[in-house]
Amino acid sequence: MNPFTRRHLLACLMAATLPAWARDASLPLMLAQTADPGIDPAGWLVSEKYDGARAFWDGRTLRFRSGLPVAAPAWFTADLPTEPLDGELWLGRGRFEALVSIVRRQLPVDDDWRTVRFMVFELPGAGGTFEQRARRIEALARTHRPGPCEAVRQQVVPDRAALQRMLQAVVDGGGEGLMLHRADALFVRGRSPLLRKLKPLSDAEAQVIGHLSGRGRHAGRMGALRVRTTEGVVFHIGTGFSDAQRESPPPLGSWISFTHHGLTGAGVPRFASYLRLRSL
């Protein structure tokens, strides 16, 4: 049995033991929409978007966004507050792959977990505005210090130019982007325009080396392109195509332009999306 199959079966067995709300991935979380690049930050609180593993603490159990439990050491969760928290398990900028290898291990290693921080940015289901909830998070983090719980710093940004400077500074430092949360917003569950993510969009080129068949609505036509960058990185692009482009995809050997949100530690473009056939 290959490692992927073992992991898949383990996830299924674990999910079968969860309550219905966890199996349905219906955790009480607020999810972000993508921000317009020219968004005016007036009325928003801005923080760094941490490149970690989303985690929900219900006061007793720490879970991933999927609802599956996080196999954290008992001492790690013992230091958390008794009220629900939403945040990211985080090691530091540019260390996503290392973080994942730690938090997905079923037998936690204490020395590894001592480097993990729980960066808290929301109090699910709590009353008051987000500005008030942010102050409450800061108070909780101070009360439970020292410990893994840390309040995400929320900032008032005066104008669009300052927001772009902040975004550039975070990205230049190895960060992923920014989060904007309406300061006067009450907590709502699900994807909401009251929470926005702002990330830089990069573009690059790659050569088409394969066509992957589509499934479901795209059965009988191209589902994704297999491409190779000039650096030799091979990956798949499955979004950004019109129906007409899926019916008649870019030919093998052609070069395309695509957009992405930075690179993984292995150099693979994140969230790659087809842009256009490159002009010769």
Which of 105, 135, 104, 103 lies closest to 122 in space, CA to CA?
135
Model confidence pLDDT, tens digit, residues 243-276: 999 999 999 999 998 988 778 878 899 889 998 8
Q: Would you state the pLDDT for residue 26?
A: 66
Please determine, for residue 240, whether its predicted confidence score (pLDDT) is greater than 60: yes
Residue that wins the pLDDT comparison between 131 and 93: 131
User: Which of 35, 41, 47, 49 is the catalytic position?
Assistant: 49
Residue 197 appears among annotated catalytic residues: no
Mean pLDDT of the chain: 87
Q: Residue 174: which pLDDT band, with cuts at 50, 70 and 90?
A: confident
Q: Do 3-197 and 202-277 agree at the fold level? A: no
When pLDDT is averaged across residues 61-84 and rounded to a whole number, the result is: 93
- Could you say which of 3.30.470.30, 2.102.10.10, 3.40.50.12780, 3.40.1350.10 is the CATH number of the domain covering 3-197? 3.30.470.30
In the numeric block, which tokens belong to residue 208? 């088409």
Q: Would you state the pLDDT for residue 39?
A: 93
Residue that wins the pLDDT comparison between 216 and 132: 132
Q: Would you state the pLDDT for residue 17?
A: 36
Domain boundaries, the chain: 3-197, 202-277
Fold category of 202-277 in CATH: OB fold (Dihydrolipoamide Acetyltransferase, E2P) (2.40.50)
When pLDDT is averaged across residues 210-218 and rounded to a whole number, the result is: 92
